[in-house]
Structure 1
Amino acid sequence: MRNLLSIPFLFMLWNVKAQVAIGKTSITNTSVSLEFGTANRGMILPWVSSAASVTGAVNGTMVYDLSDHKIKVKYSSAWKDLSIDTTGSTVDPVTNTDGVLIQNSAAEITAAKVAIGTRSPTPGILVLEDSNKAMILPKVANPYLNIINPAAGMIVFDTTKKMLAVFNGKVWSFWKP
């Protein structure tokens, strides 16, 4: 009897769409693979010792580079700096401790990966695999005012300035398409 009940459940899973909402109950439209809620929070990019040492990175890969405290995106076979400012830091202003030390004490699980959409061998921690869906970044009005304790490597969309905002550990940088 239990096996008979599990068959319909398996068919339901087969039809599940590869869409994820974080901090909210639903996705705004079918063109979204990952969407965040509207709380004053951002998404923290993976910290790497050096962007240059990341092997297999494809265009669109985003990281926080600890060697120069900058947020970078892989673009046209090179790394593009999104931080601009060179005063980035991983020191927590509240505890005055180096976040790198906290992160380095954790064991890395190199096979860890979350894929949304069709799973492929593309390297990365969070990989959005859909070729016809996009990620909507966390939206925050004036993140430099409203995110009380931003972390190095944080990225959001500033709804007031209509710009991409990245935090390098000390200052916010803004990008407009």
Structure 2
Amino acid sequence: MQKIFSILFLAAVSTINAQVAIGKETISSPSVSLEFGVGNKGIILPYILDASIMQGVVAGTMIIDAKTGVIQYATSATKWTALSFSGSNTSYDNVTQDITGKVNTLIQSALVDLPSATTIIGTARENIAGVLVLSDNNKAMVLPKMESPHLNIKNPAPGMMAYDTLKKQLAVFNGTVWTFWKP
């Protein structure tokens, strides 16, 4: 029964041409296509075992490489840019730690893979392969926002992302450590 509900829900959501709020009642701005409520939760990127075989990649696609634990985004159909560390270790304040991400792919592998499970929010103008596609030329996604996600998200999953409202930066977790990006 739950599988039927999931398929019906995905079919309904995949045709939405509007704004979506998750975990809150309203959208904060007309320029938002997808927005998350407050709380100590982030979004989790899909785990990909081999990004080189992905078809239909468009600039802006975001994944976590399950082999290396590196969070990446596509800057073009063939170029990926790392948003988190890759390597074996790093030193900070005389403490050496492993920075290579640890990704337990069973978290996503155990989920039922629904055929054609692409959800499109906005106006679909092109055939894009993806689990969630935000397709608008005047709206954007607002990440979950919280103060110090690296301290407040308990047991983060690899590929988790949130916006740190205290430091005003993007926080991404590779399965081992948090990486921070500031504009």
Shared fold per TM-score greater than 0.5:
yes
TM-score bracket, normalised by the shorter chain, equals 0.7 to 0.9
Q: Return closer, same or farther for 1:72/1:147 CA change in 2, 3 Å cut-off.
A: same
Residue 82 of structure 2 is matched in structure 1 by 81
Paired amino acid for 2:84: S
1:131 alignment partner, SS class: coil
Contact 1:85 1:173 in 2 (8 A): no
- Matched residue of 1:34: which SS? strand
Which residue is equivalent to 1:7?
A: none
Q: 1:26 to 1:175 in 2, by over 3 A?
A: same
Partners of 2:48 and 2:132 in 1: CA distance: 14
1:154 counterpart = 2:155: no
Query: 2 CA distance for matches of 1:67 and 1:73?
Result: 16
Determine the C-alpha separation between the residues in 1 that align with 2:42 and 2:112: 24
1:56, distance to aligned residue in structure 2 (A): 1.3
Take 2:30 and 2:111, find their aligned partners in 1: how far apart are those partners? 37
Distance 1:50 1:110, change over 3 A: farther
Between Structure 1 and Structure 2, whose CA radius of gyration is higher? 1
Distance 2:40 2:110 in 1: 28
**Within 1, Cα distance between the matches of 2:106 and 2:37?**
30
Deviation at 1:108, TM superposition (A): 2.7
Q: Write the distance in 2 (CA, Å) between the matches of 1:126 and 1:17.
A: 13
Please report how far the alpha carbon of residue 162 of structure 1 lies from its aligned counterpart in structure 2 after TM superposition.
Answer: 0.7
Counterpart of 1:148 in 2: which secondary structure?
coil
Deviations 1:46-98 (A, max 9, x none): 111122221211000000111211110001440001012431102xxxxxxxx
Which residue in the other structure is 1:115 paired with?
120
Q: Give the aligned partner of residue 46 of structure 1.
A: 46
AA aligned opposite 2:51? A
Does 2:139 match 1:126?
Answer: no
1:51–1:72 Cα contact (<8 Å) kept: no
- Give me the CA root mean square deviation: 1.6
The count of aligned residue pairs is: 154
**Structure 1's 121 and 151: CA in aligned 2 closer, same or farther, altered over 3 A?**
same
Aligned to 1:73, what secondary structure does the other structure show?
A: strand
Deviation, structure 1 residue 141: 0.7
TM-score (norm 1): 0.81
Q: 1:79 to 1:176 in 2, by over 3 A?
A: same
Query: Which secondary structure state, in structure 2, belongs to the residue aligned with residue 40 of structure 1?
Result: coil
Partner of 1:52, secondary structure, is: helix
Structure 2: stretches of 5+ with no match in the other structure: 1-15, 88-99
Specify which of 104, 108, 121 is matched with residue 109 of structure 2. Answer: 104
Identity of aligned residues (%): 51
